Amino acid sequence: IPIWFIGMTLYQRIYACKDEKEAKKAWFIAGLFEWPIMAFMGVILGMLAKVAASQGMFDGIANATTMDSEMGLPILLSTILPVGLMGLMLSSYFSAILSTADSCLMAASGNIVTDIIEKFTKKEFTEKKMLQVSQLVTLSVGVFAILLASQMQNVLELMLYSYAFMVSGLFVPVLGALFWKKSNPTAAFWSMLLGGSTTIGLILSKNKLPFDYTLPKELDANIFGISISLVTFLLLSNYYHKKSVSI
């Protein structure tokens, strides 16, 4: 759930709207299609692939029941569905991927150009030069993403890692910036860094998390990351607020 508060691609679409009314209308329509249609469609197709594999309907696929779960949908599309419906499903499948990919590339390049290059470069860029730099950064990020994806055997695992880092690092600072007047940029930076790093560190360590032996199920690593992020954000924001008031 917290990912919906901090998704960069969502804010892109909000700021692209001409006014608040248009943004609310777009948000409602997107939610209407996202949950009843897109989300459940993905789950239903996954369930159909599971049943098809267990029933031996994937002709020519050895050990279909033990294969990588991410292969379920592509194999279902290529072996079970008729040609016309398969083409329709594949087109929607890839359009969703490309729609997300271009938004993420633009968000990443925007952050790099605005928050890093502009901050650490003393000379001012013209609008034309800034556009060229943005295009070059977008190309570089895209090439890096392709190389990274080519080395990953499990795309879902990489996506969950990125979501975990984003949620633990950005959830508290984003809500703080929107609703808390004492919010401080330095506090947000360290909150993001420590919160996200804590979660990724706990996930990669694969150690038993605290409270594992006292609860029916161990707490998710994001709980600890968000907690560290919250404490860091509150302490540093209050510190810098008091410091600015005293000055």
List Cβ<8 Å contacts ≥24 apart for 150-155.
153/68, 154/68, 154/70, 155/70
* Comparison of pLDDT for 159 and 236, the residue scoring more: 236
For residue 110, pLDDT over 60 is answered with: yes
- When the pLDDT of each residue in the chain is averaged and rounded to a whole number, the result is 82
Using CA atoms, how far apart are residues 32 and 37, in angstroms rounded to an integer?
Answer: 8
**Farthest CA pair distance, the chain:** 75
pLDDT band at 59 (very low <50, low <70, confident <90, very high): low
| N residues, the chain | 247
Q: Residue 44: what pLDDT? A: 84
Q: Name the token pair of 202.
A: 């706990």
Locate tokens 């007047």: which residue? 181
Q: Residue 16: what pLDDT? A: 86
**pTM reported for the whole predicted model:** 0.71
pLDDT band at 89 (very low <50, low <70, confident <90, very high): confident
Using CA atoms, how far apart are residues 185 and 190, in angstroms rounded to an integer?
Answer: 9
